Structure formats: C-alpha cells, structure tokens
Amino acid sequence: MRHLDAAGLSRWLATAPGEVTLLDVREPWELQVCRLEGSTHIPLAQLPARLGELDPARATVVVCHHGVRSLRAAAYLEHCGFADVVNLSGGIDGWARSVDPAMAVY
C-alpha cells in the first residue's frame, strides 16, 4: 500500500482526472461537514458488505478524517485483492489545511 499526502493527491488528480477512485470511509455526518468532490462514500463498517461496488483493478485512494480509518480500510482492500491502494495520509483534514483552505474542518 502506498501513502500519499494531500498535495500529492492534488497533483495526481490534476494530471490524471478520472483515473482514480476516491473512497471516503467516514460516517455520513462527516460528509455533511465536508467532502472531496466525486468521492464514493462507503463507511468503514459497511465496507465488507459493499466491496462489490468498487473496482479492484482501479487505483483507489482511501480517505477519512485524519488517515487512521483509511489505513485500516486500505489494508482490508489489499487483503481482498485490490491492485493499487493508496492511503491519504492526514485525511480530509490535511486536504482542507494544505490544498483547499475554504473547506470546512472539524
């Protein structure tokens, strides 16, 4: 599993739009505060039951608040055979603080 910070993800999304699945594993109330546009929302607890909604052949960047839940989810995806899994280190909080300062933080 790879790790990427918010600036690295921003560059990747700018150079390869549409080539990555953004998987947000936060709870629904957290998405009401802020979210990355175009992300797929599957709360961590629902991931095993909803795994079929994701393409294991696509690059998947897993996002949570600070990077802890996403790390667990990324490890699970790798265990399930996903080929290219990336954990967003620092999570959505890191994104808001370094890439999109207009984004709400909590």
Residue with tokens 């802890």: 68
Q: List, in sequence order, every residue forming a beta bridge with 40; answer none if it has no partner.
A: 23
Cα–Cα distance measured from residue 99 to residue 106, given in angstroms and rounded to the nearest whole number: 16
The single residue of 36, 42, 47, 64 carrying the catalytic annotation is 64
Q: Is 64 a catalytic residue?
A: yes
HSE (side-chain half, CA atoms, 13 Å) at 42: 20
State both tokens at 92: 């959505």
Q: Which residues are designated catalytic? A: 64
